[in-house]
């Protein structure tokens, strides 16, 4: 099925369209319905995601002009951000896009289950980056603020095998009060950041990274740039990512080489500080 769809869309290449306040309601309803990473909490939330310092883009087929195939959402920021909670704050101030230098992708969602396996995500990100570079040349950095959705399950599994301090860490994560306790938060941060780095670099599904988000962005030619403590304080963020987010950097000059490297080796291209964090002596409890 995926091969047939690839052939169809090779002949009828999808077109990029920006989603904004003038987009027909029938399409906006689908954006709300299919948002898979950070659910849209009504029209107020949607309107904030479409304001001047935000963007939403989708791919459409000429044969289905009112049905997006895949869409992505992004925020303009000053420098890399690791705090997706701030990006999603409906009461956050709208900043002047021209004061920003980063485009931070924070969500990408597929609209049709039958399109699983068709690599629209790669096409979408490349088209969006190309358009933004032309439209807003002051943007210098294109990156993501992404969840780490397999980290918490991996950590729980690891604790089940090793016990000891890992069991204590996992049990503390289930008690939300620790986020308001300075000492306990610092203790968990010191333990969990190296573990998250180890997970992203070393945990595997076959020869590929275990984390699905990592597979997607590394496969598209991004580099794992940074891991952020308490970057996602939502219930889903704690349940799946232990509150972590990751920045994947799309360096236009390196994307093609990174993509080829990953295709050949499934190796994780990561910033040096993440490698040191993961493998530094004594950085992770056992």
pLDDT tens track for 33-49: 999 999 999 999 999 99
Residue 179 counted as domain residue: yes
Residue 61 makes CB contacts below 8 A (sequence gap 6+) with 9, 12, 14, 15, 67, 69
Residue 25: CB atoms within 10 A of its CB come to: 7
Domain boundary among 104, 120, 144: 144
pLDDT at 125: 95
Domain CATH for 194: 3.40.630.150
Residue 56 has φ and ψ, to the nearest 5°, of -140, 130
Do the domain assignments include residue 284?
no
C-alpha atoms less than 13 angstroms from C-alpha of 179 in its C-beta half-sphere:
15
The whole-model pTM stands at: 0.92
> Which stretches of the chain drop beneath a pLDDT of 50?
1-2, 4-8, 10, 281-283, 286
Whether residue 166 sits in one domain with residue 140: no
Q: Examine the domain organization and report whether 273 and 139 are in the same domain.
A: no
94 with 124, same domain: the answer is yes
Residue that finishes a domain, picked among 144, 179, 210: 144
Burial category of 43 from C-beta neighbours within 10 Å (exposed 0-12, middle 13-18, buried 19 and up): exposed
The single residue listed with the structure tokens 């039958």 is 114
Of the candidates 130, 160, 134, 97, which has an alpha carbon nearest to the alpha carbon of residue 16? Answer: 130
φ and ψ of 121, to 5 deg: -60, -45
Chain segment 97-145, per-residue pLDDT in tens: 999 999 999 999 999 876 666 678 889 999 999 999 999 999 999 999 9
Q: Helix (H, G, I), strand (E, B), or coil: what is residue 111?
A: coil
Phi, psi of 35, rounded to the nearest 5 degrees: -60, 115
**Same domain flag for 162 and 274:** yes
Half-sphere exposure of 163 (CA within 13 A, CB side): 0
Give the Cα separation of 163 and 118 in Å (integer): 41
Choosing from 125, 144, 163, the residue where a domain stops is 144
Give the number of other CB atoms < 10 A from CB of residue 6: 12
pLDDT for res 283: 45
Of the candidates 263, 271, 171, the residue with the CA atom closest to the CA atom of residue 227: 271
Whether residue 131 is found in the same domain as residue 156: no
CATH of the domain at 104: 3.40.630.180
Count of domains observed in the chain: 2
Pair 131, 155 in one domain: no
- Write out the residue range of the structural domain in which residue 219 sits: 146-279
Domain assignment of residue 264, yes or no: yes
Provide the pLDDT for residue 161.
Answer: 84
Tell me, yes or no, whether 135 and 86 share the same domain: yes
Range list of β-strands (E), 3-114? 15-18, 54-60, 70-77, 102-110
């Amino acid at each position: 099925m995926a091969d047939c769809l690839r052939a169809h869309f090779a002949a009828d290449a999808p077109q990029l369209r920006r989603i904004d306040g003038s987009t027909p309601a029938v399409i906006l309803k689908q954006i709300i319905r299919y948002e898979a990473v950070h659910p849209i909490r009504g029209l107020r939330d949607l309107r904030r995601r479409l304001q001047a310092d935000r963007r939403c883009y989708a791919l459409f087929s000429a044969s289905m002009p009112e049905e997006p195939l895949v869409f992505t959402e992004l925020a303009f920021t000053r420098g890399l951000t690791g705090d997706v909670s701030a990006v999603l704050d409906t009461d956050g101030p709208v900043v002047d896009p021209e004061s920003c230098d980063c485009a931070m992708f924070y969500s990408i969602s597929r609209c049709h289950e039958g399109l699983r396996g068709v690599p629209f995500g790669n096409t979408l990100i490349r088209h969006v980056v190309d358009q933004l570079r032309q439209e807003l040349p002051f943007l210098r950095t294109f990156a993501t603020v992404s969840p780490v959705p397999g980290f918490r399950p991996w950590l729980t599994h690891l604790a089940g095998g090793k016990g000891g301090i890992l069991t204590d860490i996992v049990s503390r994560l289930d008690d939300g009060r620790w986020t308001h306790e300075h000492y306990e938060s610092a203790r968990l941060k010191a333990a969990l950041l190296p573990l998250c780095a180890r997970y992203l670099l070393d945990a595997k599904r076959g020869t590929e990274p275990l984390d699905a988000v990592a597979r997607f962005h590394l496969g598209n030619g991004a580099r794992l740039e940074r891991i952020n403590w308490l970057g996602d304080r939502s219930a889903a963020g704690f349940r799946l990512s232990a509150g972590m987010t990751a920045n994947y950097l799309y360096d236009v000059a390196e994307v093609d080489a990174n993509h080829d490297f990953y295709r050949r080796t499934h190796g994780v291209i990561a910033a040096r500080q993440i490698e040191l964090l993961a493998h530094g002596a004594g950085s992770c409890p056992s």
